[in-house]
């Protein structure tokens, strides 16, 4: 996990209200949202049900499948392992935040070019887990890639095409490319 | 047809990818219609118990709870779940499969009540307030115990726990076994698996009181099957039920069945007049969604001294679980028994399958569905025979293959294999892996105590389900023809409506390629629509590797009808004879006059304006086809797994995995390769890791992803693929199925490799390090 966190953009101001909810402010994909949430609500449910960003998926209840992976302050986090209140003041990137102006992010392009997805259910989580790796290392070895996505289960692809997609994305994201 | 627009056979990138990559897929759980309420099921913690009482009063009093129902409350509205595969001549017993348990629960996780509330949280809280008193009954989870005389039965109408006894015999089995020089025998456990589609199942039902239309969004591989079965179970008219299966996050067979909870959600929506949503979590998925495999097999193989295989016998106990799920009886029988001869010219075979009720989750199709269980036992037996006769496993296969010039080939078990070249894939795979060199290395390594193994699997499978006359004769309640409409719009763009329901297999792209090839329309201009009973013709859905050969075949025929009609219109517009027109690159051109041409788009416009049509030709450019294939398709291939085994720990490491498959013509080689990769890993997962485990009380111990070991990227090997192409002679595209080949081929390649490495006849799956270590370190 992060040792240092960049100063989060929205101000942290968790307020307990009378009906037991907390008011939190999070920046999701560059937009700031302030919402009252029950303390038991998981971040993944907040993202899906409250913000209606349904690209973040739920595939298990034990934090094993990784379908709910998002970036929290740049780090890949399974959003079922965090409460929404813990995200107060944080910057979150979901799969919906990757493409800009209708243009796919290089990692999205690479997954398409290398058939890194089939049913598409695990894909958002896999992409974001891999993106965390590529942000710090743009020419990772196959072992590094496999380790980085080992918390994400894909039942369709057999993983090799995902590994190839991530490697290709790294190449596309290298300075001076793409 | 002379044509230069080549999109058939190209690795076109997938049209469906952008929406998934940007988080804009449309899965059932993503939907939230206004006013939605949430259902949760109270599930039995006992595997077998009499229900003494159910008290829902406390749950009902919780604010936000709208309804709590038990079996008694819906007995007139929701009927029993039906089995759609009534295999004949098998004394099939179909005990009542109630939507909610009545009086008795028969597996841990069976639903006894349903709670509906304004939020999922309230529903969960209320679920925990429903008080159920149980009187436990004796539990049996394994087939051999369940069929022992004197066991208490699960169902009164199956007193010996036997659901059916099915026998298939071909050739003179007794004779070949009498005449054999050698008979090898082995018991196999083909263990129970949990399909684990990454998207858990979900359903949202809505009722429109004005039109009385019931709409169900559901995670289904076959929405028309859901509509038909729901109309029977709910006693509600089929034409007033609208089933939509939007994006589905993997199925692998587990989204074929119609489940009780889907019917109950429909009933609740009609009762409450509000959208009712149910989404299972993974732990619920593991007890409430069907499992796969679960055979105990006793197999004998008869052969001559020279390695010629004469016959095979298999006596099988197939665990059906507590109830017979939608397609369940056909999986360990029809889809299993006919294939026990595999690629070999075996003269005689006999298969006897006993379906057994146990206190476990119902078993139904799981990727490969019957065929992995058949090919595993056969390919293991061939290796056991090779070991006994001290022959090379490649040689013994070469000796017994059905020769390439003998197709179409009638098998002893009663099928006609359409086309094949089994030596072709074997030799290509042996070359690719460097077989001779590896054998030398193995021999040298053994002298130094190194354990390396090479496992071959030469398989053939039956898929492309299937000719309706054949499948209905096996008791299957449904023709399995393909359905399509290919519709050009006035601007020349096209929509393809298919009866298949791709959920990861990429047919939104490959079907566009078929139409692009036939009509010369850019793939980008073609949309493929599926999964909605109000939009597409009646369709059978996606399973049994049928979608491309059967639904795709139908699409090719529809596109050709469109082209034939377009030719008539073009001839009229160009004032030429039809036979003087050539079609290429989406244009009809008068032979010898390249300037006299009409594009398919111009013809579409003319067909819609319809002011200048040839006599007797109807306006509009579209066509519908219901295509019933004349035979199944039989893809085949050779997979080779090379492993290194650590003598001290029993750990197995895959060094190489080579897959050479022949799936006929390939529409999109990239997608074919992807299907092989995924299929192989699911088969390897069974060989290496996965296994459902029940304790003696019938609790599923592997009830989460903590205990049920689905492979991650760290366990998955690189798979080296290659192919040969032997087209199917009987379908319009020459294609065969590919969705299940990898799973059907791979488990035995791995186990053969490990057994070869350690020098033992057999190790049951999953082949754990502990089992291997015990072989290497006998007491």
Q: How many CB atoms lie within 10 A of CB B410?
A: 12
Q: Residues B556-580: what's their mean pLDDT?
A: 98
Look at residue A177 and tell me whether its pLDDT is greater than 80.
Answer: no
Rounded to whole angstroms, how far apart are CA atoms B163 and B85?
A: 13
Q: Which of A52, A99, A120, A140 should one mutate to test binding to chain B, selecting the residue with the greatest count of B CBs within 10 A? A: A120
CA of B765, closest CA in chain A: separation in Å?
19
Q: Residue B774: its pLDDT value, please?
A: 98
**CA distance readout (Å), B757 to B378, B387, B392:** 19, 12, 14
Q: Residue A102: its pLDDT value, please?
A: 86
Angle formed by the axes of helices A160-173 and B669-688, to 10°? 120
Structure token digits, residue A52 = 């209606």
Q: Which CATH architecture has domain B292-465+631-776?
A: 2-Layer Sandwich (3.30)
CA of B25, closest CA in chain A: separation in Å?
7
Q: What percent of chain B has pLDDT over 90?
A: 98
Interface residue B716 vs chain A (CB under 8 A): yes
| A 148-177: CB under 8 A from B | 149-163
Q: Which residues of A touch B32 (CB under 8 A)?
A: 49, 52
Angle formed by the axes of helices B371-389 and B741-758, to 10°? 30
Q: Residue B3: its pLDDT value, please?
A: 45
| A 72-101: CB under 8 A from B | 94-96, 98-99
CA of B6, closest CA in chain A: separation in Å?
19
The angle subtended at Cα B25 by Cα A118 and Cα B499, nearest 5°, is 70
Query: Quick one: A6 exposed, middle or buried, by C-beta within 10 A (0-12, 13-18, 19+)?
Result: exposed
Q: What is the largest CA-CA distance in chain B?
A: 90
Cβ contacts of B237-241, under 8 Å, gap ≥ 24: B240/B211, B240/B212, B240/B213, B240/B214, B241/B213, B241/B214, B241/B215, B241/B216, B241/B266, B241/B533
| B 184-243: CB under 8 A from A | 196-200
Mean pLDDT of chain A: 92
3 state SS of B73: helix
Look at residue B115 and tell me whether its pLDDT is greater than 70.
Answer: yes
Q: Which of A119, A126, A148 should one mutate to test binding to chain B, selecting the residue with the greatest count of B CBs within 10 A? A: A119
CB-nearest partner of B712 from A38, A53, A153: A153
Q: Residue A16: its pLDDT value, please?
A: 63
Q: Residues A108-127: what's their mean pLDDT?
A: 98
Q: How many CB atoms lie within 10 A of CB A103?
A: 9
Q: Residue A176: its pLDDT value, please?
A: 75
Please report, for chain B, how many H helices and E strands are present, in that order.
20, 28
CB-nearest partner of A147 from B503, B677, B714: B714
Task: Categorize the per-residue pLDDT at A8 as very low, low, confident or very high, splitting at 50, 70 and 90.
Answer: very low
* Residues B49, B106 contacting (CB under 8 angstroms): no
The angle subtended at Cα B248 by Cα B243 and Cα B254, nearest 5°, is 90
Q: Which CATH architecture has domain B17-22+481-627?
A: 2-Layer Sandwich (3.30)
Element spanning B440, H or E: helix B435-447
CB-nearest partner of B678 from A59, A60, A156: A156
Element spanning B605, H or E: helix B600-609
| Chain A: residue whose CA lies nearest to B21 | A108
DSSP code, position B524 = G
pLDDT in tens, B150-160: 888 999 999 99
The label of the residue with tokens 């109000």 reads: B534
Q: Residue A175: its pLDDT value, please?
A: 84
Residues B234/B238/B240/B241 CA torsion (nearest 10 deg): 70
CATH class belonging to B31-137+199-249+255-288: alpha beta
Rounded to whole angstroms, how far apart are CA atoms A50 and A41?
A: 10
* Residues B191, B376 contacting (CB under 8 angstroms): no
Sign of CA dihedral B260, B266, B270, B274: positive
Residues B653/B658/B662/B665 CA torsion (nearest 10 deg): 110
* Structural domains of chain A sorted by starting position, each given as residue range(s) with its CATH number in brackets: 15-97 (3.10.20.30), 106-173 (1.10.150.120)
Q: Residues A23-45: what's their mean pLDDT?
A: 96
3-state SS, chain A, equals CCCCCCCCCCCCCCEECCCCCEEEEEEECCEEEEEEECCCCEHHHHHHHHCCCCCCCCCCCCCCCCCCEEEECCEEEECCCCEHHHHCCCEEECHHHCCECCECCHHHHHHHHCCCCCCCCCHHHHHHHHHHHHHHCCCCCHHHHHHHCCCCCCCCCCCHHHHHHHHHHHHHHCCCCC
CA of B118, closest CA in chain A: separation in Å?
14
Q: Residues B752-768: what's their mean pLDDT?
A: 98
pLDDT in tens, B17-64: 999 999 999 999 999 999 999 999 999 999 999 999 999 999 999 999
Q: Residues B496-513: what's their mean pLDDT?
A: 97
Between A17-26, B230-239, B246-255, the lowest mean confidence (pLDDT) is in A17-26
Strand order in the sheet with B309-321: B162-170, B348-357, B309-321, B292-303, B182-193
- CB contact under 8 Å between A95 and B21, yes or no, is yes
- CB contact under 8 Å between A122 and B30, yes or no, is no
Rounded to whole angstroms, how far apart are CA atoms B351 and B331?
A: 14
- CB contact under 8 Å between A57 and B249, yes or no, is yes
Q: Residue B345: its pLDDT value, please?
A: 98
| B 653-672: CB under 8 A from A | 670-671
Interface residue A30 vs chain B (CB under 8 A): no
Spell out the domain ranges in chain B: 17-22+481-627, 31-137+199-249+255-288, 292-465+631-776
CATH topology match: B17-22+481-627 vs B292-465+631-776: yes
Look at residue B322 and tell me whether its pLDDT is greater than 50.
Answer: yes
* Residues B519, B556 contacting (CB under 8 angstroms): no
Q: What is the CA radius of gyration of chain B?
A: 27
**CA distance readout (Å), B83 to B76, B93, B258, B355, B684:** 20, 10, 9, 14, 31
Closest-CA residue to B114 (of B105, B104, B127, B95): B127
């Amino acid at each position: 996990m992060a040792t240092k966190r960049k100063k989060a953009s929205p101000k942290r101001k968790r307020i307990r209200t009378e009906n037991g909810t907390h008011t939190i402010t999070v920046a999701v994909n560059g937009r700031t949202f302030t919402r009252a949430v029950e303390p038991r609500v998981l971040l993944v449910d907040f993202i899906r049900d409250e913000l209606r960003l349904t690209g973040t998926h739920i595939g298990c209840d034990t934090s094993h499948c990784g379908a709910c992976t998002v970036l929290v302050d740049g780090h890949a986090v399974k959003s079922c392992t965090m409460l929404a209140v813990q995200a107060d003041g944080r910057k979150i990137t979901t799969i919906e935040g990757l493409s800009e102006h209708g243009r796919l992010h290089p990692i999205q392009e690479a997954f398409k070019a290398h058939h890194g997805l089939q049913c598409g259910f695990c894909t958002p989580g896999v992409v974001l887990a891999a993106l965390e790796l590529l942000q710090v290392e743009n020419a990772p070895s196959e072992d590094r890639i496999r380790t980085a996505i080992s918390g994400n289960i894909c039942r369709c692809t057999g993983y090799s095409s995902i590994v190839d997609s991530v490697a290709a994305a790294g190449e596309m994201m290298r300075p001076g490319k793409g | 047809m002379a044509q230069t627009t080549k999109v058939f056979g190209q690795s076109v990138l997938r049209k469906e990818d952008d929406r998934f990559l940007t988080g804009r897929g449309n899965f059932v759980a993503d939907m939230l219609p206004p006013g939605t309420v949430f259902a949760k099921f109270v599930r039995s913690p006992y595997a077998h118990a009499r229900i003494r009482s159910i008290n829902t009063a406390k749950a009902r009093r919780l604010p936000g709870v709208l309804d709590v129902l038990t079996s008694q409350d819906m007995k007139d509205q929701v009927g029993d779940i039906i089995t759609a595969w009534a295999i004949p001549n098998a004394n099939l017993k179909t005990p009542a499969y109630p939507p909610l348990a009545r009086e008795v629960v028969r597996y841990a996780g069976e639903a006894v009540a349903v709670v509906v509330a304004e939020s999922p949280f309230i529903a969960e809280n209320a679920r925990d307030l429903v008080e159920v008193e149980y009187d436990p009954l004796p539990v049996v989870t394994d087939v051999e115990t369940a069929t022992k005389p004197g066991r208490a039965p699960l169902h009164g109408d199956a007193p010996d726990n036997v659901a059916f006894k099915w026998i298939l015999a071909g050739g003179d089995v007794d004779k070949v076994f009498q005449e054999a020089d050698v008979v090898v025998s082995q018991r196999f456990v083909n263990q129970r698996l949990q399909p684990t589609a990454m998207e858990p199942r979900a359903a949202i039902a809505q009722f429109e009181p004005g039109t009385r239309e019931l709409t169900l969004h559901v995670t289904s591989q076959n929405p028309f099957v859901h509509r038909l079965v729901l109309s029977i179970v709910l006693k509600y008219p089929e034409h007033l039920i609208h089933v939509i299966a939007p994006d589905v996050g993997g199925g692998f067979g587990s989204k074929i069945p119609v489940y009780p909870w889907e019917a109950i959600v429909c009933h609740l929506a009609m009762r409450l007049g509000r959208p009712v949503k149910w989404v299972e979590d993974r732990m619920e998925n593991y007890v409430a969604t069907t499992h796969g495999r679960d055979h105990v097999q006793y197999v004998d193989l008869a052969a001559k001294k020279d390695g010629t295989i004469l016959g095979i016998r298999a006596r099988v106990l197939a665990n059906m679980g507590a109830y017979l799920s939608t397609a369940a009886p056909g999986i360990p029988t029809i889809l299993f028994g006919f294939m026990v001869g595999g690629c070999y010219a075996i003269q005689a075979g006999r298969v006897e399958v006993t379906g057994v009720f146990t206190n476990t989750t119902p078993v139904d199709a799981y990727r490969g569905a019957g065929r992995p269980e058949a090919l595993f036992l056969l390919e293991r037996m061939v290796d056991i025979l090779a070991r006994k006769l001290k022959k090379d496993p490649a040689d013994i296969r070469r000796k017994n293959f059905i020769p390439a010039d003998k197709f179409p080939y009638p098998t002893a078990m009663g099928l006609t294999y359409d086309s094949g070249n089994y030596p072709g894939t074997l030799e290509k795979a042996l070359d690719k892996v460097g077989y001779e060199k590896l054998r030398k290395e193995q021999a040298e390594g053994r002298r130094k105590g190194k354990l390396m193994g090479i496992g071959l699997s030469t398989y053939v499978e039956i898929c492309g389900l299937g000719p309706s006359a054949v499948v209905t004769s096996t008791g299957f309640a449904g023709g399995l023809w393909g359905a399509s409409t290919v519709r050009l719009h006035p601007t020349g763009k096209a929509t393809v409506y298919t009866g298949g329901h791709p959920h990861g297999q990429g047919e939104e792209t490959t079907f566009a390629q078929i139409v692009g090839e036939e009509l010369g329309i850019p793939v980008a201009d073609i949309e493929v629509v599926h999964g909605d009973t109000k939009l597409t013709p009646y369709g059978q859905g996606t399973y049994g590797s049928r979608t491309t050969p059967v639904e795709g075949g139908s699409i090719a025929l529809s596109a050709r009808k469109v082209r034939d009609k377009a030719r008539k219109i073009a001839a009229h517009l160009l004032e030429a004879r039809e036979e003087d027109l050539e079609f290429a690159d989406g244009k009809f051109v008068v032979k010898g006059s390249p300037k006299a041409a009409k594009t398919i788009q111009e013809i579409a416009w003319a067909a819609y304006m319809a002011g200048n049509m040839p006599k007797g030709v109807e306006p509009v450019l579209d066509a519908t086809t219901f295509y019933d294939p004349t035979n199944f398709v039989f893809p085949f291939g050779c997979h080779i797994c090379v492993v290194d085994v650590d003598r001290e720990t029993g750990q197995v490491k895959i060094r190489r995995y080579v897959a050479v498959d022949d799936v006929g013509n390939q529409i999109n080689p990239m997608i074919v390769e992807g299907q092989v990769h995924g299929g192989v890993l699911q088969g390897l997962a069974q060989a290496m890791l996965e296994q459902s485990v029940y304790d003696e009380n019938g609790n599923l111990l592997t009830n989460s992803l903590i205990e049920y070991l689905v492979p991650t990227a760290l366990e998955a090997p690189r798979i080296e693929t290659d192919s040969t192409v032997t087209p199917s002679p009987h379908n319009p595209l020459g294609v065969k199925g590919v969705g299940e080949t990898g799973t059907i081929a791979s488990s035995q390649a791995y186990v053969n490799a490990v057994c070869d490495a350690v020098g033992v006849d057999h190790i049951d799956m999953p082949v754990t390090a502990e089992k291997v270590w015990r072989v290497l370190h006998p007491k």
